Copies of this chain bind each other. A is one copy, B any other.
Amino acid sequence: MAAKSEMRQNKATKEWVIFAPFRGKRPHDFKPQKKQREDLPAFDKGCPFCPGNEHMLTNIVFEMAGEANKAWRTRIVPNKFPAVTPEGDGNRFQTGLYVAMPGNGRHEVLIESPQHNHQVALMSPDQAETVIETYHRRYSDLMHDDENMMILIFRNHGPRAGTSLIHPHSQLISTSIVPRYIRQREEEAERYFDEWGRCVFCDILQFETENDRRIVFENSSFVAFVPFAADVPFEIWIVPKRHQADFGQISEEEKSDLAHALLNILFRLYHKLNDPDYNYIVNTSPRYRADEPQLHWYIQIRPRLTTQAGFEIGSGISINPSLPEADADFLNNATG
């Protein structure tokens, strides 16, 4: 099978799907028992993300150096089994009844620590800031390339969240298309703006702050809360207080505040929910929308404590067994 993926548009929904058949053989080195993480070595000679194993990497895209240049603190490398590749372009072609295009884009791994068994929820604030700084630099770099219509930074933590490697890392995928799902969020935001003259996320933020029933964290730049209509138990949004559509617009102070917010929440999830598997995603505006008054970027954390079954798949409606207010209380309760 050729190492090239293809994107296809679902004729019925206009949604895009990436076909990357070669991803079938990914390395699966995670342990099903998460508690064994403590027994893992700080260095693994078979792990391409560990220092000294650079020969196992095709390339190092970016690196944040440690103090006195002693060692790197974070690193970005190409994904060895990419869903999309920089070859090709965004040109659609007709194939029979359907529209398709090359699987064009970038798929990179953001290594969050040199230490193989590092637990992200327990990292130092300093290291968390370095991770956010790494996100932001690479995001800004790639946004200089017109071909990147969307850049998604996300983290998969644990087997239920789709992790295939132990070594702590996030991922970044850029594509030359904007998915229907994100366009729909845009359209709803636009409708809201046209009706009320305000950003819907700003209004949500203001209401949540006043209402104070679902807030789990606040500092000078960010508010974190369990959304009113959370899809899954303990879903959490970290939203910048200042209106900004684009993650690229984050200030130095906000970066530091974001690192603290993220760390605080991951730390509590780790302790209160016994290190749950989770995904988090930096939801930000696609290209050309960075200055629009109705879009607002945020980080969405989704623990993987439940299973999406037939009803969810068929209806798009999630069945959430936990009330957001109860989730917030649980996370806020010192003895929870």
Q: B-contacting residues of A (Cβ < 8 Å)?
A: 8-24, 83, 96-98, 150, 152, 154-156, 159-163, 171, 173, 175, 179-182, 184-185, 188-189, 192, 200-201, 203-204, 207, 211, 227-231, 279-283, 300, 302, 307-311, 313-323, 326
Q: Given A12-B204, A97-B204, A160-B307, check contact A179 B18 (CB 8 Å).
A: no
> 12 pairs across A/B with beta carbons < 8 Å?
A9-B229, A12-B200, A17-B320, A18-B320, A19-B322, A20-B320, A21-B323, A152-B310, A152-B315, A161-B307, A171-B311, A279-B309
- CB < 8 Å: which of B179, B185, B308, B319 contacts A20? B319
B309 contacts A161, C-beta separation under 8 Å: yes
Q: How far is the CB of A195 from chain B (nearest CB, A)?
A: 12
Give the secondary structure class of A's interface: mixed
* In contact, A98 and B228 (Cβ under 8 angstroms): yes
Q: Which residue of B lies closest to A15 (CB)?
A: B316
Chain B minimum-CB-distance residue to A306: B162
Picked from B155, B310, B321, B326, the residue with its CB within 8 Å of the CB of A156 is B310
A118 to chain B, nearest CB (A): 19
Q: Is the CB of A97 within 8 A of B12?
A: no
Cβ of B97 and Cβ of A24 under 8 Å apart? no
Choose among A11, A23, A150, A181 the residue with the greatest number of B CB atoms under 10 Å from its CB: A11
User: Given A12-B204, A96-B211, A188-B13, A319 and B280 touching (CB < 8 A)?
Assistant: no
Chain B neighbourhood of A160, CB < 8 A: 307
Residues of B within 8 A of A96 (CB): 207, 211
Complex Cα spacing A179 to B326, Å: 25
Smallest CB-CB separation from A177: which chain B residue?
B317
Q: Nearest chain-B residue to A10 (Cβ)? A: B229
**How far apart are the CA atoms of A18 and B192 in the complex, in Å?**
23
Looking at the assembled complex, report how far the CB atom of A28 sits from the nearest CB atom of chain B, in whole angstroms: 11
